[in-house]
Chain A
Amino acid sequence: GAVVSQHPSRVICKSGTSVKIECRSLDFQATTMFWYRQFPKQSLMLMATSNEGSKATYEQGVEKDKFLINHASLTLSTLTVTSAHPEDSSFYICSASGQLHTEAFFGQGTRLTVV
């Protein structure tokens, strides 16, 4: 199957700082990438959908100025959590799929802790 790599796997940052999470498709061109947030023992909540070369589409209730998503190439999407606060602490997961894929492939996830 196709491989999606997400980095970092864990990050701790101070309140007020920004942190960037990368999501890379290693062996296919990801025309669409998705970013999710997951709280412990809960489901994945879709935050936004990004298509290469265009602005991300955010789900209702997700602050686009806080969660900046960039999909500059067919193999890389980034999520930047700006001015992070403790309530942003969570598990963030990306997924990607190419034009010929029916399923989405997931990164390993990033555990963000804001102190």
Chain B
Amino acid sequence: AQTVTQSQPEMSVQEAETVTLSCTYDTSESDYYLFWYKQPPSRQMILVIRQEAYKQQNATENRFSVNFQKAAKSFSLKISDSQLGDAAMYFCAYRGEGNKLVFGAGTILRVKS
């Protein structure tokens, strides 16, 4: 079974600074997708960024980028120029052949002004 591990329960970042959230996963599949979801206090799950495992190029969405290391099974999220609105719970998720999403435990990100 696939597992997703987020080893940082909480992280803090100063406004306008950069922060990296860590995620590792375990799988025997070769084709899969990885995602970062954001859950603000409203608890609505919002897709931040996705990565297809067969693509070597790291995904980027504006201030959000990932460092995808397939061999190491690592998928970290970098948030640049952090804003107050980035404060939320961030979940790393894996989607494999079964189409089920497997979530990590989450990282609470606090942004200081």
B105 touches A42 (CB 8 A): yes
Interface residues on B, range: 20 to 34
The stretch of B14-22, B41-49, B60-68, B74-82 in contact with A is B41-49
B47 touches A41 (CB 8 A): no
Q: Give A110 to B94 CA distance when docked, in angstroms.
A: 24
B44 touches A103 (CB 8 A): no
Residues of A with Cβ closer than 8 Å to B?
1, 32, 34, 38, 41-44, 46, 49, 91, 93, 95, 97, 102-104, 106, 108-109
Residues of B with Cβ closer than 8 Å to A?
33, 35, 42-45, 47, 50, 52, 89, 91, 95, 99-106, 108
> A43-B104, A43-B105, A109-B44 provided; 14 other pairs, C-beta below 8 A?
A42-B105, A43-B91, A43-B106, A44-B101, A46-B101, A49-B100, A91-B43, A95-B45, A95-B101, A102-B52, A103-B33, A103-B35, A103-B47, A106-B44
